[in-house]
Structure 1
Amino acid sequence: MSVTTAIDTQLARLRLRYANSGLPKFFSWWAGQLADLLPARWRELFAEGAQELLVDASTSEFGIWRQSHGRNAEYGRITRDQPAEDQRNEFSRLRDRIDDPGLRLFYCIPLRRALRRELTLPAAAEDKLRQVLAFEMDRQTPFKADQVYFDYRVVQRDAVAKNLKVELHVVPRAQLDGELATLGAIGVALDGVDCWSAAPGSARAGLNLLPAERRVKRVNQRLRLNLALGAVALILFVVAGMLFLNNRQIALDAMGAEVDKAKAEAKQTATLNKRLKDNTASISYLYRLKRDSTPMTAMLTDLTKRLPDDTFLERLNVDEKGKVEVQGQSGNANKLIEGLQKSEVLDNAAFIGTVQPDARTKKDRFTMNFQLHKQPEPESADKDKKAHDKNGVKPAESPDAPAA
């Protein structure tokens, strides 16, 4: 079994299940109710696609009926005694008056020309009903399947008995081929062959005796155009979506770059702020150190003033806490302490160890230490400190404070 045959079988089974359900009647009723709610003009617009031209042939002329909105109306007649080219032009003119690319054309014959038989078949035969009817053709009719055009419709399904009643309509090919050729000569491309339900111009019986391979292959240009426009619209929608996402990504990248730049600037600002705080702390330390310490020049001046002329220093060392240690020689070392006690710069003068005579210089060799007197804060510094304690404002730097 080919793939196409398998698909056709499955589709036939699905159609059978659908037909046996109540859905067709419900959808038909529902569509009718919705259509009745629409204005008449709208119903006409929606019904345009269901228009059909029905052609009837007699010995003298072709009659053409237009079926629309469930009603038939005579549309035109073409006499058969005029040349075939004129008949073609007249039919083309009538056809072009209807702006509907999906307009279907049916050739209708009197119902009496078709052989009608009613058959009862098993329900399982509905999957391949056309093949079953073709096989049964020579048993149910005087013809073989290749000698007739036929169609059928299921008129009843009995779910209990699991059978169905089929109405078969048959027309000999020999009777119809000549008429179809005549219609083809005047440009009538048929979608099917049907029977009138009653008199000509009444309505179609709802059959299609023409085989599928002989039906016109219509190309709905409007449908193709609409599909193409729909595809273009879909592509444009996708492209617009991609452009939107791309623009959002570009904006996000730009915002990310700005955030990174702001982070870098904030980090740089924090670094500069830390450096500034460190420099400020260093400056404050140096300022306090200078403020709290006696200047070296003042200490040297005081020592020069307090030490007698017969005294000289060999070594002088001052640590960061203001402790001073000196080593030297003097004509009378014992009088040095008395002189240094009167100093306003030096405090707590005392010898380290014992005073020893130097045989070479005939002087006393001594080692002593003392503490530098703490420098009093100036009045302006007191005011700045009080303002800082009260308002939290940093005091002004002293002019003597070293630059950063």
Structure 2
Amino acid sequence: MSALGAYFKRGITALLDEMTSWQAMMGFPHTARGTFLLVDEGTKLACYRVARARPVHKADGAREALRDGWLNRIVGTHPIELRLAGDGVVVRSLRLPAASRGHIEAIIRHQVEQIMPWPSEKMVYDYDIQESEAARFSGQFDVRIVATSLTAVRSAIEPFQSVGITPVVVGLASDPSDRPSAINLLPGAKAALRLRRRHNALVCLCILAAAGAALLAGAGWSINRAIAETARIEASLASLRGAVEAARKEAETKNDPAMDVARKWDAVPMVLLLEELSRRVPDTTYLTALDVDDRNVRVTGLSTNAADLISLLEGSDMLEAAGFSAPIVRDNDSKLERFEILAHFSEKDRP
């Protein structure tokens, strides 16, 4: 049981990893944007209010004057998106095969220490996928990797935190200000995003499991209902069979002339009827069906001259009142006449 549990746990973990990688490949969930945008322009800070069309410029101020409260009076307690100048930020580009898109997070983690001047524990990094016709035509895609030292980014956001302003996104001033930042260098943001993606994957799995359980429960209910209905029908048939058998036995015990006649017809051995038909029917006639119901004998077949069969059967001591029960038609395949004759057992010499 422990081995099965471990196997199941590994399977769930692998599925969660795949779903998390898929979210990263699709860029989901999107980075939340602050209400205000603060762009570091080197000599000053430019503050914008984020709007649907384009950011609206609100004020400019010096980083050194943050303690005077000029920025607090504008943004209040609203979240801000900070855009850093390029000082101390390293940007690298990679071109990867399209088949590796589903494993991009693992590839970036492996590559970042080799192309950046800081060890992984002393830097923050992020990436965004950049589509281009040239890369797409060659079956590849481009990735922009942005990194800076952990010390540098903490020093950049510490003045804002000291006056009660906490950035929710840290991007680059060189990126377009009218679109949300595709890069977030906020310490811990990447781990939080990965955790959020894994949480989303787990929620999806739970929903799928609940839906599967509901479908199984519905299927089980339908099967049980079908089994119960089958049992009810079988009980009803058994009751009907019992009633029919009781009626038959009751009729047999009565002195009923009709039952006596029926028992006489039942006493005729089928082998005698077949022998009589073989003797009466010519070699140019072929029987395809023989049906006996009480006194009635229905003969179906093919013949070169079906009209002569009536007189042949009427000459039998076993049969009487022979006649065609359907029109004679010519069979296109055999070129013979197809017939259907209805006769009755004769009462002469019956026991």
Q: Same fold (TM over 0.5)?
A: no
- Give 1 or 2 for the bigger CA radius of gyration: 1
Give the TM-score normalised by the residue count of structure 2.
Answer: 0.42
